[in-house]
Chains A and B, each alone.
Chain A
Amino acid sequence: MKRVFCLIIICFTHKCIIAQDTTKLISLKEITITASRINSKYYEMPSSVAVVDSSYLTQFPQSNIDNVLQTIAGVYVNRSSGIFSKNATTTMRGFSGSNRVLVLYNDLPLNQFTGGGINWHLFNVTSVDKIEIIKGANSSLFGNNAISGIINIKTQDPTEGFHFNTSMSYASFNTFALKNTISYNNIKNDKGYYVVANLFYRKGDGYYIQNETDTTREKLFLNERGVEIKYKYQFNSKNSILLNYNYYSDFRGDGIKIYEPIGGYYKDLSNLFTATYEKEINKVHISIKGMFHHDLYKQHTEKINKTGDKYKLYDVWETTYDYMFLANAIKPFNDKFKINFGADFKSGKLNGIDKYYTSTDYIERGGNLFNLGLFAQAEYKTLNKLIFSASFRFDKTCFYEGYLFAKGTTSETNIPNNSHELYKNSNWNGFSPKIGVKYLINRNISTFVSVSTGFTPPKLDDMVSSRKINKGFKIANPYLKPENVINYELGSSQILFDKLQLDHSLSFSQGRDFQYFITIQPETAFETAIYQRKNIGKVNIFGYEITAKYNVLRNLFIYANYAYFNPIITEIASQTDNDKILVGKKLNETPFHQAFAGVSYKSDKFSVFLASNFIGEQWADELNTLKLEKYFTVDTKLQYKIYKGFYLNLLIQNVFNKLYIDKKGGLCPGRFIQAEIEYRF
């Protein structure tokens, strides 16, 4: 076994033994990864870690923050309608479902208990300092949702004094956008305050997502606005309070218009408050964080069947509340050993109403989830070469006061009339350990091995919501159980010739009680399809990732990565033949192969980024009968400094106008061109 382990290490590192000491790529290694919760250094973490810095973000051809995540090996972002997408779905390492990626905002978990994911539109790209990505199961740190990885979005602190930044852009589909940032930083000698305000507005006519033959098609219009205000007061270098408020509202078309004046649409209104208090007492770093997120969502939908004789008009209203408190303390005993421990409390509430106008159906649904987590973490360095990291977490999660009330129901909703269901409360315990070892062979070469676990309770929406979805009708499953994942990983990192950084990772994950959306009743000529999320059994995912970053010249970088993941359902808990047929099938909505290549150049006056993405084939359905075609896109961004503080930006996404189809059969917008003028004061 020892020989095998040595062979693997040699195999992973043999190229790098001849490498020279490096200085240019070393700066990245010193970055502190706060998503580690123990403030580990990038190069000391026994995990696959990626960091996107603000320079990369500014140069990259993105129109939403999630675009940039697509450039990370193993991360798949589904934003098939571009800026006109209702939201982006971000998944990692072959796991489908955005609820399996934990997203942090300044180290605070944002995933909502309702749908498990986050609203990516809440973030303004201009305010982001860096994005940390830790791949693999990581529930030992933050508990739920960290099944396939963690993404931590960190906002930047303004520079000293008063600054003003404004930009205006005009883009394809008659899209107009305005961004303003005002900041004032009065922190002197580690004492003082700063305040930053970001304002954002974007409006566009949109494009047709349906084919020309569809007489009900309408443009996916867009109207969105956002505000972000950040205030920090620093008492001294070891004591500060940070307050953050994000507001976002949007109004978007759903692409179908039959009789309603503007057709179907979505409206969303989000308010997010976060607060962080940090203090150091006797070298113990104490952090107390709080978050409150309120979301109001309305969906107005009209539909007509293929024969044109069955018309439906209905509204969905959802109100969600998520709040949490996190507290932890990091105690370093010496340069080599530190511990971290703490407790988290999270709670989520959903109230939803579905009102049908073309029938008498009326449904009210809702429920609550509550989570309490206790964790401890330790990091130990020895011989200047070995870093041991161990952590564990205990989670107690409760589902309570779940309900479904229905009246006037017809065959439209498949719910018995006058239903008054009060779902049984549930309690679950989760124990999530992680252990990892990193071996720093020399300054440029390192390797790690880790075993980690993931735990995530069901989403509220899956437990209590019986409602219409795009492809049919979804039935609530109040008996869903949490899902658990174990992840084994072996990885390495090398810096060659002072210019090339190579990261490899080989991983195997096994999901148990895997939550999967499956067909309960297929669509027939007379009945709509019925779906439900169930704990289906076991899923195995084997994967490999390689990432390369080549610093060709001082300001010229080449990036490339490739990821392969093979997620297969290996065991079905259900005894029904319909469910058993899933054994051997691959998970849907996750590509098997992904690749990215990009080149960036920056001078004092001019910068350019050329990026290309390959998304491999993926299954659109759980029975693996409908395959989505692979596609390749190229994006570019050019920035030119016209005069003092004035910049001209040209963004082209999907340069070759590749028209691909998404999982719902919708067309992508094709080529998107945006011209922007920016002034920085």
Chain B
Amino acid sequence: MKKNLYLLLVVVALLCTFSCKEEKILVNPHLTLSEETGYVFSDTAIASGVSFKIKVICNSNNGSNLTNLEVKQNNTIILNYGLNAPSLEKEVTLTKTSNEIDTIDIIIRNYDGLSATKSLRITKTSSPYNDIIIVDNITIGAQNNTTIGSFLDVETGIVYTQDSAFNHQSLIDILYYYNSTDLNCFSSAGGNIAGIFTGPTSPENWTTKNTTYFSRNPINITNDEFVNCQNDSLIIAHIFSDGGRKAKSLKANQFWAFQTQSGKYGILKINAVSDENSGTINISYKIQK
């Protein structure tokens, strides 16, 4: 009996020895922001439209590997970075929006789902530049397009059909058409357009004819400059004095500066265009408020 008991004890001891697993350390990762010159690391004030950098420094704190770095600006994900390493240094560039206060949340997560966070409040400083209206991915139809209108109200981004535009003449700043002479072309009711649109509601018969002027040629800016533009600094930098009433031969990825009847300046980007009188053009634009 005693012998059996000893045997049982030995078996239990062996089982305990071999069944012991190395304990996994569950600790939150560690996160700091670099205080080097040129990086934002605490609450501060920055002018709208100005870019700034943060440098995230984090480590696993002897726990599981880091797997995800997330940076959010006003709850919009700016960076969602995957990794599998015990440490990370990552530089992130952000742009101050026109909001009075931007909240920047930086979250580092490890494999166990544990996290460390930092938040920054970026207040808007007074700026010599003004806020702008941003409109993305508007599709406008050419003159023979039966489903999408050709007339744009740039303040609201609403596209009107010819009949509807006739009833909102004072709101229409830009119209789009395609013909063999001008190819893809932007103009306005005051642009002396004849024979393109037909019928009693065609712009020739309008009583209010807004005129929009366009830069003579596409302007030379980068896509990043356009995307990051949060105030009218870029627009002001491209104010023109000798504009024309048409922007012809429009092609994808071109940028054009324009000025509406009310004197507001803007920049538009051609995202996509189809070369036919029943086709469409897709644009994004930014205009002074």
Contacts and interface: CB of A to CB of B under 8 A. Distances in A.
B68 A312 contact: no
B83 interface: yes
Contacts of B84: 258-260, 302, 311, 313, 357-358
Contacts of A312: 82
B67 interface: yes
A547 B110 CA distance: 59
Interface in B74-126: 77, 80-85, 109, 111
Contacts of B81: 358
Contacts of A410: 77, 80
A310 interface: yes
Contacts of B67: 313, 357-358
B170 interface: no
A354 to B, nearest CB: 14
Contacts of A411: 80
A260 B65 CA distance: 10
A574 B65 CA distance: 47
B276 interface: no
Given A357-B111, A410-B77, A311 B82 contact: yes
Interface string A350-362: 0000000111100
A311 B84 CA distance: 8
A255 B284 CA distance: 44
A411 B79 CA distance: 11
Given A259-B65, A410-B77, A358 B85 contact: no
Contacts of B65: 259
B153 interface: no
Task: Give the most central of B65, B82, B85: most A CB within 10 Å.
Answer: B82
Interface residues of A, number: 15
A260 to B, nearest CB: 7
A358 B82 contact: yes
B131 interface: no
Given A259-B65, A410-B77, A360 B70 contact: yes
A387 to B, nearest CB: 62
Interface in A87-121: none
A599 B205 CA distance: 91
B85 A310 contact: no
B82 A313 contact: yes
A310 B82 contact: yes
Contacts of B80: 359-360, 410-412
A311 B85 CA distance: 11
A359 B68 contact: yes
Task: Give the most central of A259, A358, A359: most B CB within 10 Å.
Answer: A358
B70 to A, nearest CB: 7
B85 A359 contact: no
Nearest to A358: B82
A256 to B, nearest CB: 13
A412 B81 CA distance: 11
A313 B111 CA distance: 9
Interface string B55-71: 00000000001011010
B26 to A, nearest CB: 15
Interface string A493-522: 000000000000000000000000000000
B240 to A, nearest CB: 34
A357 B112 CA distance: 8
Contacts of B82: 310-313, 357-359
B70 A259 contact: no
A310 B77 CA distance: 16
B6 to A, nearest CB: 31
A258 B83 CA distance: 10
Nearest to B77: A410
A316 to B, nearest CB: 16
Contacts of A310: 82
13 contacts: A259-B84, A259-B85, A260-B84, A311-B82, A313-B82, A313-B84, A357-B109, A358-B81, A359-B80, A359-B82, A360-B109, A410-B77, A410-B80
Closest 6 A/B residue pairs (Cβ) = A358-B82, A259-B84, A357-B67, A311-B82, A410-B80, A358-B68
Given A302-B84, A311-B84, A358-B83, 5 more contacts: A310-B82, A313-B67, A358-B67, A359-B80, A360-B109
